[in-house]
Chain A
Amino acid sequence: MEKPLTGHIKDDGSQLELKGYEKEGGYRAVKKVIGKIDPENVTATVKDSNLKGRGGAGFGTGMKWGFVPMGEDAITPKYLVANADEMEPGTFKDRLLMEENPHLLIEGMILSAYAIQASIGFIFIRGAYVKSVDRLEKAIHEAREKGYLGKNILKSGFDLDLYIHISVGRYMCGEETALLNALEGRRATPRFKPPYPQASGLFGNPTIVNNVETLCCVPYIMEHGAEAFKNLSYTDEGGTKLYGVSGNVKNPGTWELPLGTTMREVIEEHAGGMMNGYTFRGALPGGASTDFLVNDHMDVKLDFSTVMNVGSRLGTGTLVVLDDKTCPVGFVANLMRFFGRESCGWCTPCRDGIPFVQKTLEAMEAGKGKEGDMDVLESHVEFMGPGNTFCAFAPGAMEPLQSAMKYFGKDFKQHITDKKCAWKGNGK
């Protein structure tokens, strides 16, 4: 099977340097495209490939680019930003790409920037990814030396400068408009949309923010065409996907698989199934802000639309597995502690609602649950539904809670009636 994202990556965890990358066919797409194909055609190809954003929302990448104003009247400079602020709990895919194949991201950014005619690119990377930063810096230097970056790239007349912004924390920066605020040296609270960043983004100029993995798909698309990319997957959505599994499975890790691989295959084949003595109860398919999938969903194809049809979201495609020896209430309480801490404090439901939910769950865990607590939880799920809050943060936070109550409601109630957590003192 073809692995456009990780195929070149060596097993030893070392960095693929420029020479090695070029030897594997790297920068061929750049040579093929820059200055030779109209930018609009690049966007059209990406649109045809049905590449969907890998950061979690699954929005069509080509479509997103299509909203960038083109032509001479467009405000310049335009910006391209790689969202490398991977901080979704349970997600560990972009780190792999940046550490081990940084040129792939750079090539993807050159092509994407060319498509929207952006002349400045930023890689917004979380501060904890020290190794990624080192390797990207080195790779950018190499690419610049070789003329892939800078002024008049490959004598095409196209310019692109690429910079790294090392973030100083906060999950919120993963939201594209909050990220832009952080890049502008502001507090990372989200911005109201519309205007979308394509119209008024970084420093008020047209901007595209794409996830690292998304950008890494672009070189393959441009080299092999939209059809080839589509053919990589098991469904209509194009490409491969980095799937991952964490939790009490035998072999946690990350694998590049055709988009639409079933949850069963990911967990049982690649992750080696559950650890001995543990039974699968459910999994968050793509990070902390997705709804649980359970046993019934084992054969669901993990792509954006199929997962949505069964009431969850593919998100980042890195599964967090809940087992029978782990308390589902404690599990969700942990997530709420995270969300409560990372809420930016801008809008009311998120800022003041999540802590209430968190405290309620923690009380239940501590055997101090009360009658009415289930109402509190349920009403807050509704309260923080999509559209009710300023951005998608709180609705995302409610997804694991609402689905946990749906699938493990008994366990929640039992915490209240028994005045204790049955998992406490039982290895947990």
Chain B
Amino acid sequence: MLSEQEKKEIAEELEHLPRKTAGGLEALRVVQKYRSWISDEAVSDISEYLGMSETQIDGLASFYNLIYRKPVGRHVILFCDSISCWIKNADNLQEQLGKHLGIKPGETTSDDRFTLIPVACLGACDKAPVMMIDDDLHVNLTEEKIKEILEQYK
């Protein structure tokens, strides 16, 4: 079952859509905000609320990369691996970060603290390399700087 808060927020989004079934992405985003990822149960909940099939909702969820169909850690690191950051050595940095956390891209640390996800250009190329952790953008990364930044996220 969706929580009251989830329902309320989805309903707000639905207000400006001409049909309920157009709200699949808003619903996924809202539910993920509260549950951190989209479980099979969440797929069910959303499909029931919107009057769509689980297959339809999952077809959406599996298309979009910011919808997580596997559990993620408390903090999600979106590490830019696109061209401007790559020129600035982002590949190596990402590898170092992975080693530091003991995980590969797409994985979550055993303490559930971080999930590392490589992501397309974050639109801050003049400050490459960059990454986002949760809602925060971190720029001009170096190996040292990354370690310091990670400390801010418990």
Binding site for B on A (CB under 8 A): 86-92, 94-95, 120, 126-131, 161, 163, 165-171, 182-188, 203, 244-248, 252-254, 284, 288, 318, 320-323, 326, 330-331, 334-335, 337-338, 341-342, 344, 428
Contacts and interface: CB of A to CB of B under 8 A. Distances in A.
Contacts of B67: 168-169
Interface in B52-94: 59-60, 63-67, 78, 81-84, 86-89
Nearest to A163: B16
Contact of B127 (A88, A252, A342): A252
A186 to B, nearest CB: 7
Contacts of B137: 128, 130-131
Nearest to A244: B126
Interface stretch (B21-29, B95-103, B107-115, B141-149): B21-29
B83 A92 contact: no
B66 A288 contact: no
Nearest to B19: A203
Question: Sorted from nearest, which 10 A-B pairs have the closest CB atoms?
Answer: A246-B125, A169-B66, A252-B126, A89-B82, A246-B84, A169-B65, A185-B24, A89-B121, A185-B22, A168-B64
A186 B81 CA distance: 27
B126 A168 contact: no
A380 to B, nearest CB: 19
Contacts of A91: 121, 123, 125
A244 B125 contact: yes
B83 to A, nearest CB: 5
Given A168-B28, A186-B60, A161 B83 contact: no
Contacts of A187: 59-60, 63
B121 A90 contact: yes
A127 B16 contact: no
Contacts of A246: 84, 87, 125-126, 128
Contacts of A244: 125-126
Contacts of B24: 185-186
Contacts of B59: 187
Interface in B1-51: 16-19, 21-26, 28-29
Given A88-B121, A169-B65, A252-B126, A288 B83 contact: yes
Contact of B16 (A120, A247, A252, A254): A120
* Dominant secondary structure of chain A at its interface with chain B: mixed
B29 A254 contact: no
Contact of A87 (B26, B121, B124): B121
A321 B125 CA distance: 11
A320 B22 contact: no
Given A120-B16, A170-B63, A188-B63, A129 B123 contact: yes
B135 interface: yes
Contacts of B150: none
Given A203-B18, A338-B120, A245 B87 contact: no
Contacts of A338: 81-83, 120-121
A170 B64 contact: yes
B105 to A, nearest CB: 11
A341 B87 contact: no
Given A120-B16, A320-B125, A334 B25 contact: no
Contact of A185 (B26, B65, B124): B26
Contacts of A254: 126
Contacts of A86: 123
Given A185-B23, A252-B127, A171 B83 contact: no
A29 B102 CA distance: 56
Contacts of A184: 22
Contacts of B126: 92, 244-246, 252-254
Given A128-B122, A168-B29, A169-B67, A90 B84 contact: yes
A171 B60 contact: no
Nearest to B22: A185
Given A187-B59, A331-B87, A182 B127 contact: no
Given A187-B59, A247-B84, A334-B86, 14 more contacts: A89-B125, A129-B123, A166-B29, A168-B29, A168-B64, A169-B66, A169-B67, A185-B22, A244-B126, A245-B126, A252-B125, A253-B126, A320-B83, A320-B87
A337 B29 CA distance: 26
Contacts of B28: 168
A53 to B, nearest CB: 18
B22 A89 contact: no
A166 B25 CA distance: 9
Contacts of A341: 120
